Structure 1
Amino acid sequence: MNSTYTTKMSESAKLNTVEKTALVLLGMGEEAASQVLQHFSRDEVQRVTHSMAKLSGIKSDNAKEIIQHFFDDFREHSGIRGASKEYLSNTLRKALGNDLAKGLLNNIYGDELRNNMQRLQWVDAEVLAKYISQEHPQMQAIFLAYLPAESSSDVLAKMPPDYHDELIYRIARLQEIDHEVAKDLNELIERCIDHISMTQSAPISGAKQAADIINRFEGNRGQLMELLKLHDESVVKEIEENMFDFMVLGRQHEATMVRLVQEVPISMWALALKGSEISLQQAIKRSMPQRMVKTLEDEMAVRGAVAISQVEKTRQDIMQVVRELSDNGDIELLLYQEPTVE
């Protein structure tokens, strides 16, 4: 084996499967690549597009080799192109009879619907809830049933609470949907996507983003806030409101933290500190008796991996306790260290 071929093989072998996929998509062009990405899951889209953005320095020969390998695989596995719905329906009914054909077709088109619904998992839950609110309850239930479970739960939460039980009941009773309903659902999906593409902008909370930046700022936060007040004090108040974050507990006076340790159960600290910065964990542990620190560490270890949503909820609950104590004057809460003079 000559050295040139060995070098080419070793360079292309450095790319993992995701990177090779990214390279093939880049070679397809924007329109074709976008159609392929519609059939990826949310996680797959994130990994592949991240890889597409980072991909660089690929030699032409190596790119051709990878793309050629893709088409070799395609020719080996593709065979005849997929049949149309009408052709497949007629063929299966003639071969299997109406009952068996109906079940098989429902499975096939159910998968198609789920793939189509994947496109909506990027849309804000509140937007989806508003859009389907005018549909018949049964169509709403079908829509939620085919939407990925996490997205479906978020959309349900944005709908009227006194209506949740009926929708869940309708979803639980679903067994299958006929072709006409599947067609209606597909049309609803397309209308929803068209509506969102024309009306939805990219939302951003500037005050929240500014607060997050300042909370993590390593410089003089107090001086920065004083300078911001020269621009607009109302903006500073809005930033301060958004700075009320779990991270601020890492820079409180000892007396404040001792009181919080007394008010918040150890089980809540064990959850809230999961995945937090080491400096924050150390700041809170310094305010605890040694036996409490040991109990905290043991409980964190026993809990193992926990859902991020559960951690966030616990942090919010703790910050609610902090807010109440601060509002009542029981603790002095520092969002940042204000400048001082002698």
Structure 2
Amino acid sequence: MNKAQLKQKPALDHVERTALVLLGMGEDAAAKVLQHFSREETQRVTRAMAHLSGIQSDNAKGVIAKFFDDFRRHSGIRGASKEYLSNTLRKALGNDLAKGLLNDLYGDEIRNNMQKLQWVEPEVLARFIANEHPQMQAIFLAYLPAESSSAVLKHLPSDYHDELLYRIARLQDIDHQVVSDLNDLIERCIAEVSLTQAAPLSGIKQVADIINRFDGDRATLMEMLKLHDENVANEVEQNMFDFMVLGRQSEETLDKLVQQVPIEFWAVALKGADITLQQSIKRSMPQRMAKALEDDMQARGPIPLSRVEVARQDIMEIVRTLAESGEVELMLYQEVTVE
């Protein structure tokens, strides 16, 4: 056994823990509590209060945290107890230690609620907090997962994105009344979304996207789908009209497309596209044209995803027109063939 272990004091018994909590309450509150003790209990607790010394802050925090955890669980008190807890902990531990303990006690509640909000559409969240004070917006965004927060920020007015980010950067700890206000905001948001937002889901489009990205036998999937309902399968095929299907086209079709689509469309649309698709398009171009495309893509640098999506939609409109007129044969998936 080392010296540190020899010097370590035994854990506080239940009377000493009670004494520690009463000391943290202050004279008036402690006196009111002691009125409900028996004579013997009062003597034992006050004796312990008089002899307590050398209690480390971590031990004190643990004892008081357990007391208030039990208090919250058994009493059923919510809002008002936070203010009471805050005042009591500050008296017992001082401001700095109290802040850390309060964050531990109530931080999980906020984080758990925020986890629910990350599944709400960013545009809906942005609209919900748009009329809140910028500081509350900043705190709201700070507690959201970063990916969700970034998406919500995109839907807020761009002229004060920098102010919100600056406010978030300056956050260290927040007043517990603000924590309460934030929880109220989160709960109102969850309630409103539950009441007003129907979950938009297009099953046909989802199936089309799944099959477009399926690495296995798409043709067999489609054939099996037609056995269930040919009309549904036809709708799925129509929704499979996606930019990525260009990578599955024949050389003849791609040759026709690179002649009809302006090179500046390709330079934007191929940004971030699968490397196989990029190579297929470039192979269908004359060498000089392919080199010009590469130079154009490099010169443009990073491009917003929204612009890339628009360019891809423009290309697919051209493809659709060519397919409907019979100038190209568009292959949505490799059909089953027989000898």
TM-score (norm 1): 0.50
Larger-Rg structure: 2
TM-score (norm 2): 0.50
